[in-house]
């Protein structure tokens, strides 16, 4: 953008964007402000990196100034973090209202009061209760160990001092020592604990909510720190031994499950399907997985009843997500969802992956669908009630999957358990392990292009379906299902007869509507190999 005016007394202002390095050509500004540095695009074919070009502008001006700011991203790839750490790297230290000891506001990470920091009450049973953390949040001075109330926070911040790496602050607020990196280039770190519009209680609640799935959102947006992703390094046998500890058979619902979800991944000539059970502690278990060939079989999979081991009536999936990321087949997938979705539940929704930066810290977003299958902002009229497209926060659920495999033992809150009978299923565990984070691009990619990752996808979709069904409020889920008398053989036969009749009528209706049967979804992303050249694309038979 060229300057608006060059009239006397006015300062020309230029604007540029990271994806177009040439817009900075022939411009020599004295002051440059770089916004959201960590999100600047790296153009492989450009003449140079956008940030390097920006920093080169005005190099002949001796008193030029550069200011850069950004929310951090991923450790090792975060561009703002690299600039901050090589500069003065300063944190804001505030005085305790009781002893005047200056300290950086931070979260307690040890659970010990003597270590100070932001704390809250609650043992293991309350560890996933954000409201309890909100009600009991308090700050403890790291020096005198006295409680600092929310009423003290603003006064402390007003008396704060910026302290560089290698320095400390005495009780009078004077800096002691010499900065490790000098102060020719100054850099600053600040978390939301200092923000006027946030409280200690808000911070505690946000942290507990982040434990459910994603730590990246909290690390980046609340703590102002680069996120360190998990490094998953294990063989399929190790993962199988870790997860396959359940005492149930495929097709059975173990005790403790309160509701079921389904996930469907659409492939070239078949559908990858899985059904999961969930309890009130966000613990999941695999009920059934496999492949089917037609939409009729997908419908039967979604509506199938499952035997329960707690003696109650059979259970069915209450929420199903079907991947619709292939835009060429969007209408077909949405059309199927609309044909089987019940406005009052069970629900069958189309879904699509979304980028972390566009989700505003949310695990998922519900987008409206109109009668023409237009979505979100494009859905302008004739909105279809009772159905949405679910935009999934890919980063959140990829991180959950890695945590399930590395950090959380089966039986822990937010964990996953599989039945023992799957311990020899190499293909399943190869697929669960076949993605890792590309730090440079900030996306998850295949590790081995000859091995699919479809089962990893349906695990993530199944987990997101549980979040959609509960609307993120797991505290309202009871610990146990209501006890009901088991069905008699006559009742079971009558119910199954009604189900088969309904399926037959629905198939006839779909035939009349001429639902497309074309299959042209994405093909495996192998380089130089056809999908038939690998033996790792295993077709499973459904139960």
Q: Does residue 532 register a pLDDT over 70?
A: no
DSSP of 274-309, one letter per residue? EEEEE-TT--EEEEEEEEESSHHHHHHHHH--BEET
Q: Does residue 408 register a pLDDT over 70?
A: yes
Report residue 454 CA to chain centroid gap.
Answer: 18
Q: Exposure of 439 by Cβ count < 10 A (0-12 exposed, 13-18 middle, 19+ buried)?
A: middle
Measured between alpha carbons, how far is 101 from 93 in angstroms, rounded to an integer? Answer: 9
| Least confident piece of the model among 251-255, 445-449, 460-464 | 445-449
Q: Let me know how long the chain is.
A: 543
Q: Does residue 43 register a pLDDT over 50?
A: yes
Measured between alpha carbons, how far is 64 from 450 in angstroms, rounded to an integer? Answer: 52
Q: Are 329 and 302 in contact (CB under 8 A)?
A: no
- More confident site: 211 or 263: 263
Measured between alpha carbons, how far is 72 from 39 in angstroms, rounded to an integer? Answer: 9
- More confident site: 376 or 313: 313
> How high is the mean pLDDT of the chain?
81
Measured between alpha carbons, how far is 231 from 89 in angstroms, rounded to an integer? Answer: 27
Span 322-328, average pLDDT: 81
pLDDT at 23: 61
What's the sign of the alpha-carbon dihedral 143, 146, 150, 151? negative
Where do runs of H (alpha helix) occur along 292-368?
A: 295-303, 330-340
pLDDT at 14: 65
Residues 6+ apart with CB under 8 A from 281: 128, 413, 414, 474
Residues 6+ apart with CB under 8 A from 471: none
Q: Are 437 and 74 in contact (CB under 8 A)?
A: yes
Q: Does residue 283 register a pLDDT over 90?
A: yes
Percent of the chain at pLDDT exceeding 70? 76
Q: Does residue 510 register a pLDDT over 60?
A: no
Residues 6+ apart with CB under 8 A from 11: none
Return the SS3 of 358: helix
Measured between alpha carbons, how far is 10 from 13 in angstroms, rounded to an integer? Answer: 9
CB atoms < 10 A from the CB of 423, how many? Answer: 16
Reading the block at residue 454, the tokens are 């479809």
Phi then psi for residue 472, to 5 deg, are 75, 0
Helix (H), strand (E) at residue 66:
strand 65-69
pLDDT at 153: 92
In angstroms, what CA-CA distances link 471 with 220, 238, 341, 468, 476?
Answer: 24, 34, 18, 5, 10
By C-alpha distance, which of 465, 506, 517, 457 is closest to 273?
Answer: 457
Beta bridge partners of 369: 375
Span 383-405, average pLDDT: 89
Return the SS3 of 442: coil
Q: Does residue 6 register a pLDDT over 50?
A: no
Span 449-460, average pLDDT: 92
pLDDT at 375: 85
Q: How does pLDDT run across 116-163, given as a tens digit for each residue?
A: 999 998 654 445 678 888 999 999 999 999 999 999 999 999 999 999
Residues 6+ apart with CB under 8 A from 535: none
Q: Does residue 537 register a pLDDT over 50?
A: no
pLDDT at 542: 43
Question: Residue 333 — very low, low, confident or very high, per pLDDT cuts 50/70/90?
Answer: very high
Q: How does pLDDT run across 420-454, given as a tens digit for each residue?
A: 999 999 999 999 999 887 766 667 788 888 888 99
Question: Residue 393 — very low, low, confident or very high, per pLDDT cuts 50/70/90?
Answer: confident
Return the SS3 of 515: coil
Q: Are 41 and 18 in contact (CB under 8 A)?
A: yes
Span 331-349, average pLDDT: 92
- pTM summary value: 0.66
pLDDT at 478: 80
Q: Does residue 183 register a pLDDT over 70?
A: yes
Where do runs of H (alpha helix) occur along 350-425?
A: 394-406
Q: Does residue 410 register a pLDDT over 60?
A: yes
pLDDT at 185: 87
Owner of token pair 């993605």: 435
Span 406-430, average pLDDT: 93
Beta bridge partners of 74: 227
Q: Which of 135-144, 355-364, 404-413 has the highest mean pLDDT?
A: 135-144
Question: Residue 348 — very low, low, confident or very high, per pLDDT cuts 50/70/90?
Answer: very high
Span 17-29, average pLDDT: 63
| Least confident piece of the model among 290-304, 452-466, 478-492, 524-538 | 524-538
Span 234-255, average pLDDT: 94
Measured between alpha carbons, how far is 223 from 188 in angstroms, rounded to an integer? Answer: 13
Beta bridge partners of 319: 261, 347
> Distance between the two ends of the chain, CA-based, in angstroms?
62
Span 485-513, average pLDDT: 56
Q: Where are the beta strands (DSSP E) in 202-283?
A: 244-246, 252-253, 259-266, 271-278
Question: Residue 466 — very low, low, confident or very high, per pLDDT cuts 50/70/90?
Answer: very high
Question: Residue 385 — very low, low, confident or very high, per pLDDT cuts 50/70/90?
Answer: confident
pLDDT at 494: 60
Q: In the chain, what are the domains?
A: 21-70 (no CATH), 90-222 (no CATH), 236-512 (3.30.420.240)
In terms of phi and psi (left: phi > 0; alpha: psi -120 to 50; beta: otherwise), the region of 482 is beta
Angle between helix axes 330-340 and 489-512 (nearest 10 degrees) is: 140
pLDDT at 405: 92
- More confident site: 413 or 50: 413
Measured between alpha carbons, how far is 95 from 330 in angstroms, rounded to an integer? Answer: 57
Q: Does residue 268 register a pLDDT over 70?
A: yes
């Amino acid at each position: 953008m060229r300057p608006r005016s060059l009239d006397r007394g006015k300062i020309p202002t230029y604007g540029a964007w990271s994806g177009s390095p040439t817009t900075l050509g022939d411009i020599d500004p004295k002051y440059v402000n770089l916004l959201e540095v960590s999100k600047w695009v790296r153009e492989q074919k450009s003449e140079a990196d956008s940030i390097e070009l920006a920093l080169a502008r005005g190099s002949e001006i001796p008193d030029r100034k550069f200011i850069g700011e950004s929310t951090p991203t991923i450790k090792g790839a975060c561009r703002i973090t690299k600039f901050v750490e090589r500069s003065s790297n300063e944190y804001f230290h505030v005085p305790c209202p009781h002893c005047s000891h200056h300290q950086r506001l931070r979260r307690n990470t040890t659970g010990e009061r003597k270590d100070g920091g932001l704390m809250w009450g609650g043992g293991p049973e309350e560890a996933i209760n954000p409201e309890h953390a909100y009600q009991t949040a308090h700050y403890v001075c790291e020096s005198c160990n006295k409680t600092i109330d929310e009423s003290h926070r603003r006064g402390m911040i007003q008396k704060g001092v910026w302290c560089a790496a290698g320095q400390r602050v005495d009780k009078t607020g004077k800096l002691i020592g010499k900065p490790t990196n000098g102060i020719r280039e100054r850099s600053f770190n600040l978390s939301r604990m200092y923000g006027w519009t946030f409280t200690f209680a808000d911070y505690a609640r946000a942290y507990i909510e982040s434990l459910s799935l994603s730590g990246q959102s909290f690390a980046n947006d609340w703590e102002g720190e680069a996120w360190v992703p998990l490094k998953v390094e294990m063989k399929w046998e190790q993962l199988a031994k870790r997860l396959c500890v359940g005492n149930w058979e495929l097709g059975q619902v173990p005790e403790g499950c309160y509701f079921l979800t389904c996930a469907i991944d659409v492939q070239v000539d078949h559908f990858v399907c899985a059904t999961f059970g969930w309890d009130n502690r966000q613990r999941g278990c695999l009920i059934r997985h496999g492949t089917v060939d037609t939409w009729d079989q997908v419908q039967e999979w979604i509506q199938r009843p499952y035997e329960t081991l707690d003696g109650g009536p059979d259970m069915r999936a209450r929420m199903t997500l079907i991947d619709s990321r292939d835009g060429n087949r969007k209408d077909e997938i949405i059309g199927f969802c609309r044909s089987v979705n019940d406005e009052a539940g069970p629900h069958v929704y189309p879904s699509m992956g979304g980028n972390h930066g566009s989700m505003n810290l949310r695990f998922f977003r519900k987008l409206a669908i109109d009668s023409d299958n237009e979505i979100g902002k494009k859905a302008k009229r004739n909105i279809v009630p009772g159905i949405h497209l679910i935009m999934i926060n890919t980063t959140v659920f990829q991180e959950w999957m890695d945590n399930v495999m590395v950090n959380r033992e089966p039986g822990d809150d937010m964990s996953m358990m599989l039945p023992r009978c799957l311990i020899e299923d190499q293909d399943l565990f190869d697929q669960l392990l076949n993605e890792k984070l590309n730090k440079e691009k900030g996306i998850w990619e295949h590790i081995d292009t000859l091995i699919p990752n479809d089962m990893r996808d349906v695990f993530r979709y199944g987990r997101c379906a549980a979040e959609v069904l509960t609307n993120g409020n797991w505290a309202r889920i009871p610990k146990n299902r209501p006890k009901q008398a088991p069905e008699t053989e006559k009742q079971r036969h009558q119910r199954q007869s009604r189900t088969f009749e309904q399926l037959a009528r629905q198939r006839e209706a779909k035939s009349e509507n001429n639902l497309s049967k074309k299959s042209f979804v994405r093909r495996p992303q192998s380089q130089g190999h056809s999908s038939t050249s690998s033996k790792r694309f295993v077709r499973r038979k459904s139960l």
